[in-house]
Structure 1
Amino acid sequence: MSAVSDLRRTRLLAALAAGLTLCAGLGVRSVADGEVAKYAGDALYTVLLCTLVVLVAPATRPPVAGAVALVLSWAVECAQLTGVPAALAERSVLARLVLGSTFNAPDLLWYAAGAGLFLLIRTVVPRPGGPRHA
């Protein structure tokens, strides 16, 4: 395969993974509630961001994608301390889903768990056109 077709395949797989991650998040919310659903959602939020990083930049190595997604997750969580996400969440369901509204310190740990889950999955699932790596 050519490098261009490898990148296209990686983008396609990242888009598929993003869709599956969204379905997993919605699925967890439909069968669980309370802390299980919340913290699973937090972890899956970061997994989703990892897949979006790969979708945008398919040559990104998994540890870099995980780190970028984790930093973004933490930044969004810390932004909740400002009240801006809460104000936006009052006006938009999408903003509420993407930005949240209330800071919760344990979320930071669950975002890290999501980045770790992404890296674990990337270790098990071979990269298109290349060997397994993390």
Structure 2
Amino acid sequence: MPRLPLFCVAVLTVAAGVGVRALFDGPVPKYAGDALYTVLIYMLVVLILPRIRPWVAAALSAGASWVIEFAQLGEIPAVLRPLLGSTFNPPDLFWYAVGAAAAWAAHTLWLRRTG
């Protein structure tokens, strides 16, 4: 998969996360941010490993998000809290899976249309 479109999608993912937080209150930006966080991890995985299968990238991105969430049960260093969070929240695990599934579906569709 070409890296420039992946990089652009990664930038748009960050912009979407910032936009959702700016436009909405309550649980919408929280859980949309969780899903988009996993989409960003997915994009980074595919940037690093461009030939990776979509289901593997989805599993890795969801897994990384879950590891970070479970790490919040312990002490996250203060300098890393803005990036990794600080409070374990079980519903986040579901939204990470939603983000991974959405990225998997988009990636699979992209490969079918271009391949």
TM-score (norm 1): 0.79
Q: How big is each residue's C-alpha offset from its partner over 1:53-88, in whole Å with a ceiling of 9 and x where there is no partner? A: 0011111111111100000000000000011x2xx2
Taking only the aligned residue pairs, the percentage that are identical comes to: 50
User: 1:96: which partner in 2?
Assistant: 81
SS in 2 for 1:102: coil
3-state SS, counterpart of residue 86 of structure 2: coil
| Residue in 2 that maps onto 1:56 | 48
Gaps of at least 5 residues in structure 1 are: 1-6
Query: Residues of 1 paired with 2:20 and 2:56: CA distance?
Result: 27
Give the secondary-structure state (helix, strand or coil) at the position aligned to 1:44: helix
Q: Decide which of 97, 102, 107 is 1:112's aligned counterpart.
A: 97
Counterparts of 1:61 and 1:127, CA distance in 2: 12
Root-mean-square deviation (Å)? 1.6
Equivalent of 2:68 in 76, 83, 86: 76
Which of 33, 58, 63 in structure 2 is aligned with 1:41? 33
Distance 1:52 1:98 in 2: 15
Amino acid at match of 1:98: L
Q: Among 95, 106, 109, which residue is 1:121 paired with?
A: 106
Q: Point out where structure 2 has 5 or more consecutive residues left out of the alignment.
A: none
Closer, same or farther in 2 for the Cα pair 1:55/1:127, shift >3 Å? farther
- Number of aligned positions between the proteins: 115
Q: If the length of structure 2 is used for normalisation, what is the TM-score?
A: 0.92
